[in-house]
Amino acid sequence: MSDTLPHHYKYLVSSPHDVEWGITVNTVGKESVPPGYRTYPPRSGHPDSFYFTPSGGRCLDSYQLLYITHGKGSFYTSPDVCVPIKEGDMLILQPHKWHSYFPDRRTGWQEYWIGFEGINIDTRFKNNFFNREQTIYRVGVQDSIVKLYEQAIEVAMEEKAACQQYLAGIANLILGMTMYYSQNCRFDDLSAERIDRAKVIIRERLLQGVSPEEVASAVNMSYSWFRKLFKDYTGLSPAHYILELKIRQAKDLLATTRQSIKEIAYRLNFDDIPYFSKVFKKYTGLSPQSYRDKFGLEDVSK
């Protein structure tokens, strides 16, 4: 009797031209490991670098996104440090970092993976989109992510022209969805609902000069807690979020209307034109007049 149910996977090569795309994919696949399995990883069809013993671990030469959609198991960051993993967990395995993992023999598991490398992903770690000290991301079991893995397997199996660019796009999207779902899983439904409501209030009252404190009151939260939660959720403080929306509105008005710069500044509740010009230039790199000259309607009055 085989240790595993039918599996599907592919190992790929890339050309120097593919490398210039910024991400190249070297493997994609899925594996079903049943309860009571005898060995892990399965000993069939994989290159030597794939194999490892749970006690010995391994180091990969590239990144790999390992997604567990059923079952549970253990992940080792070192021979002495074990972290439980379960269905809905995404593991971002980094190159040249020792690790080991295996499914619980009582449950087995279903795993999907896609391996890739390139300057684009290196830059994301360098710019702290992903924490080098974090491996496990709680994203939940997402059908949309499973469909992407299945699509990647299909594309890899056919291996048609430009498949590397197609696969790189899928890997990139899974990375983005990992950020999206893992960050949103940190918030309970009530907190998320309050912040979403706060963003609506800000947009609806933007031209009325709404303050962050007023928004916090409107969603029945203390300002200190509201500010922290809002920044955790959006990446911006409430005041910064309001200012970003004002600058976006100013850009639209400068480019599409004949309202004077003074009228636009007062419409957006800036205290004076010099302050408006200073803030606008800080965010856009151009003064309001320079922005209008570059992107606005012809013959707009100064």
**Residue-level pLDDT at 92:** 97
**Residue numbers of the chain with a pLDDT score lower than 70:** 1-7, 43-45, 49, 298-302
Going by C-alpha positions, the residue among 24, 104, 109, 4 that lies closest to residue 67 is 109
Instruction: Spell out the domains of the chain, with CATH numbers in brackets.
Output: 8-184 (2.60.120.280), 189-295 (1.10.10.60)
Per-residue pLDDT tens digits for 129-157: 888 889 999 998 899 999 999 999 999 99
C-alpha to C-alpha distance for 23 and 92, rounded to whole angstroms = 15
The token pair that represents 288 in the structure block: 């309001």
Q: How far apart are CA 241 and CA 251, in angstroms?
A: 16
For residue 20, give the nearest of 118, 115, 95 by alpha carbon. 118
Tell me the C-alpha distance between 278 and 276, whole Å. 5
Tell me how far apart the alpha carbons of residues 107 and 42 are, in angstroms, rounded to a whole number: 16
Helix (H) or strand (E) holding 66: strand 63-78
Ramachandran class of 209: left when φ > 0, alpha when ψ lies in -120 to 50, beta otherwise: left
Per-residue confidence (pLDDT) for residue 49, from 0 to 100: 66
Q: How far, in Å, CA of 148 to CA of 52, rounded?
A: 27
24-33 vs 81-86, strand pairing mode: unpaired
Q: Is 220 helix (H, G, I), strand (E, B) or coil?
A: coil
Instruction: Name residue, tokens 């970003």.
Output: 244
Q: How do beta strands 63-78 and 81-86 pair?
A: antiparallel
pLDDT, position 299: 52
CB atoms within 10 A of CB 110: 19
pTM of this structure: 0.68
Number of H helices, E strands in the chain: 11, 8
* The predicted structure's pLDDT at residue 245: 93
SS3 assignment, position 44: coil
Q: Quote the pLDDT of residue 45.
A: 67
